[in-house]
Amino acid sequence: DVLRQKRVMIMISDTGGGHRASAMALADALQELYPVHITIRDVWTESCPFPFNTVVKQYMWMAKHTWSWRMLWYSSKFPVTRWMMQRFANILCKRIFMKAIQDDAPDLIISVHPGTQHIVIKALKKLARRQGSKSRIPFVTVVTDLGSAHPMWFHPEADRVFVPSDPVKDIALKCRVRESVIEEYGLPLRRAFWNAEPRTRQEVRDVLGIRQLKTVLVVGGGDGVGRLFNVAEALGQNLQDLADTGGAQLVVICGKNEKVRKQLQAMQWPDAVHAHIVGFVKNMDEWMAAADVIVTKAGPGTIAEACTRKLPVMLSSYLPGQEQGNVGFVVDGGFGDFCSDPRTIARTVVGWLQDEEALRRMSKNAGEQGRPRATLKIAQAIGQKWLATSTSTLLSMLEKLLKSELNSGA
Ligand code: UDP
């Protein structure tokens, strides 16, 4: 059993792009450090009944109709409604989670989603009771929100809770998570963000085939949510103000929002503005390294990634409740601002581009919030506790093997 490869199950729900991205980043870091077998599972979508199997679609709809998201977020924050929702989910789906856990047979479960906390711990406890075992499979939470977090993220019985920031740690403590199980390293990010960009901005621009001009990067979430079109259009108009200094460049990453991508690609841009409109990209690290400023919705992943690239951030929208804390993270961190009006966004960003001193200051502040090593640190902390095979264990195993060899020989 000691030699058996340890198995880790990472639980997510595919709402937004960030949770899967965090799960994949963690899997990558764990595999870098330990010989583990990892599965990433969205059990809600894979096998749960209606309405649970449609949460991803519901999330996408609600992200566009934020009043509905606000209602869900705040009603599920209220303890009585939260309890009722969890009870309903447990009755219909706990067995399905138990089956998924039995199928994967993990030694450890890592949850990177608020929706895979309570139900998973319940399932684990029931499985342990069934097997007559006093201890259940260990359960670790890695919070992938940045400036604040919904109470559903926190279960007092989690064996370890990794938080990205002080405000999230305070919420965890309020939700009765013991201080001794909380660790703070930052948000898990993809491998490309684990190190500083070794190339200069000019070199990266050459690699990407874009011009050596002041560059604004506009990014939707993984799903391209946010008012990309209006923001990009307004920026296009205002960047014309940089005509005297050779013009400017606008890169719009539309994510999976094909409709906006086509609309923007068909658009006539002012003469001095060089626009690059792309769909979903895998090299976000390079686009960020090539830019002077990023305009994005307040997604935690995108903000944390921008910090590792020392990029000033203009936030154009946020999901009520969930992403509100991320606005504070950027504004209080002194590396950006929030504004919902596209024309004001465009005016402000162009103002930044014309003020080298402001750009330098915000870039420095962004860098101070960057936690490029977070993913490896989280993986190491998890691995040291649950995945590493210690030298003494290996030696005693060798001893056992030798003894049994000798016995069988005799
Ligand atoms: N992203 C990407 N390519 C794209 C658009 C987005 O890799 O074309 C990534 C982005 O870098 C970030 C994630 O998608 O890692 C979005 O996560 P975030 O937490 O910012 O927002 P969410 O979509 O989860 O609300």
Query: What is the ipTM, given to two decimal places?
Result: 0.98
Quick one: pLDDT at residue 5? 84
Q: Is 208 in the pocket of ligand 1 (CB under 6 A)?
A: no
Q: pLDDT-based confidence at 409, cuts 50/70/90? A: low
Q: Is 147 in the pocket of ligand 1 (CB under 6 A)?
A: no
Mean pLDDT is lowest, of 59-63, 238-242, 307-311, 353-357, for 59-63
Averaged pLDDT, 82-87: 93
> Regarding predicted confidence, which is higher, 319 or 269?
269
pLDDT digits (tens, 9 = 90+) for 190-229: 999 999 889 999 999 999 999 999 999 999 765 555 588 9
> Regarding predicted confidence, which is higher, 83 or 2?
83
Q: pLDDT-based confidence at 403, cuts 50/70/90? A: confident
Quick one: pLDDT at residue 4? 73
CB neighbour list of residue 360: distance below 8 Å, 6 or more residues apart: none
* Position 1 pLDDT exceeds 80: no
pLDDT digits (tens, 9 = 90+) for 238-278: 999 999 999 999 999 998 889 899 999 999 999 999 999 99
Mean pLDDT of the chain: 92
Averaged pLDDT, 166-183: 97
Quick one: pLDDT at residue 357? 98
Give residue 332's identity as a one-letter amino acid code.
D
Checking 152-160 for CB contacts under 8 A at 24+ apart, the result is 152/76, 152/82, 152/114, 152/115, 152/117, 152/118, 153/114, 153/117, 154/117, 155/117, 155/118, 155/121, 157/121, 158/117, 158/121, 160/381, 160/382, 160/385
Judge contact between 22 and 116, C-beta under 8 A. no
Q: Mutation test of ligand 1: which of 13, 189, 284 has the most ligand atoms closer than 8 Å to its C-beta?
A: 284
Task: Give the whole-number percent of the chain exceeding pLDDT 90.
Answer: 80
- Compute, in angstroms, the gap from residue 221 CA to the centroid of ligand 1: 5
Beta-bridge partner residues of 40:
10
* Position 51 pLDDT exceeds 90: yes
* Position 308 pLDDT exceeds 60: yes
- The DSSP output letter for 164 is S
Judge contact between 137 and 109, C-beta under 8 A. yes
Residue 161 burial (10 A CB sphere; 0-12, 13-18, 19+):
buried
- Compute, in angstroms, the gap from residue 240 CA to the centroid of ligand 1: 28
Averaged pLDDT, 329-335: 97
Q: Check: pTM over 0.95? Answer yes or no.
A: no
Q: Give the tokens for residue 239.
A: 């960047």
Give residue 92's identity as a one-letter amino acid code.
L
CA-closest candidate to residue 297, choices 344, 258, 262, 345: 345
Quick one: pLDDT at residue 255? 87
Quick one: pLDDT at residue 392? 55
- Compute, in angstroms, the gap from residue 259 CA to the centroid of ligand 1: 18
Q: Is 236 in the pocket of ligand 1 (CB under 6 A)?
A: no
Quick one: pLDDT at residue 256? 84
* Position 150 pLDDT exceeds 80: yes
- Compute, in angstroms, the gap from residue 247 CA to the centroid of ligand 1: 28
Residue with the smallest CA separation from ligand 1 atom 10 is 302
